[in-house]
Amino acid sequence: MSYQFDFLAPFDYPAVLIKGVLVTIELIVIGGLLGIAVGIFGAWARTQGPRWLRPLVSAYVELIRNTPFLIQLFFIFFGLPGIGLQISEMEAALLAMVINLGAYSCEIIRAGIAAVARGQIEAGLSLAMSRMQIFRHIILPPALQKIWPALSSQVVIVMLGSAVCSQIAVEELAYAANFIQGRNFRSFESYLLSTAIYLLLAIGLRQLLRLIGNRLFGRPVAREAA
């Protein structure tokens, strides 16, 4: 085998690597927060919201969960300008991630809501609490606690899926790896390094979400099922 490995070669472009990591982190922080917010709203709409809103949210969830993320991204970035909506690469990536995570987290959170005991809701009604107060203070906290590990896993999946955003020239980690191997022709080393960084980001994100869950709910959150 004549190929000579050079695992330091990708580090010849430190600025590109650092920017790629930072953009990936930015995507998941903003996309994750907004996506979970959309998921909470969707879960509320499907369980507590007005009847006219439920089929609309159901259609949105089914559409997103049954189409590829790449197609959703391309539709937003290449399709929307066709009707006059011009958005940047970063805006398109964030919007696609929010919409995608929102649909999946909606169903995850809805499952948590379904597991909340009916007696707790009736207790809130007996205290003359409004439906929104009951949802916010009685239903949502225990629902989130029950599904936090599953929701955390979905956030990590969306973070890893952000690599697809390199297809529309978002300068995240996968874009950085493609850029570097296109300059030094060290594909093995470049993609091995990006794989290692994605692994570290995923592990770090899981641990961060676990700590957040422990802080929010006041006790250790169960780990994801193996």
- Mean of the per-residue pLDDT values of the chain: 90
Mapped onto helix, strand or coil, the DSSP state of residue 65 is: helix
Q: What is residue 1's predicted lDDT score, i.e. its pLDDT?
A: 58
Q: Is the pLDDT of residue 208 over 50?
A: yes
Take residue 221 and report the two structure tokens written for it: 């959150």
Please report the pLDDT score of residue 152 as a whole number: 95
Structure pTM? 0.90
- Per-residue confidence (pLDDT) for residue 25, from 0 to 100: 96
pLDDT of res. 131: 78
CA-based torsion, 30, 83, 105, 112: positive or negative: positive
CA gap 40, 31 in Å, rounded: 14
φ, ψ dihedrals at 6, nearest 5°: -140, 90
Q: What is the arithmetic mean of pLDDT over 179-205?
A: 94
pLDDT of residue 3: 76
Q: Are 79 and 121 in contact (CB under 8 A)?
A: no
Closest CA to 194 of 5, 3, 7, 4: 7
* pLDDT over 50 at 225, yes or no: no
In whole angstroms, what is the distance from residue 10 CA to residue 189 CA?
7
Per the CB < 8 A criterion, the answer to whether 50 and 137 are in contact is no
CB–CB of 95/87 below 8 Å?
Answer: yes
Nearest to 154 by CA among 29, 26, 32: 32
Which range, 7-16, 59-68, 75-84, 208-217, is most confident?
A: 59-68
Express each pLDDT in 14-66 by its tens digit: 999 999 999 999 999 999 999 999 999 999 999 888 999 999 999 999 999 99
Instruction: Give the model confidence (pLDDT) of 128-178 as tens digits.
Output: 777 788 888 888 899 999 999 999 999 999 999 999 999 999 999 999 999
Cα dihedral sign, 201-167-40-64: negative
The pLDDT value recorded for residue 97 is 97
CB-CB contact of 39 with 108 (8 Å): yes
In the predicted structure, residue 226 carries a pLDDT above the cut 50: no
pLDDT of residue 221: 56
| Cα–Cα distance measured from residue 116 to residue 110, given in angstroms and rounded to the nearest whole number | 10
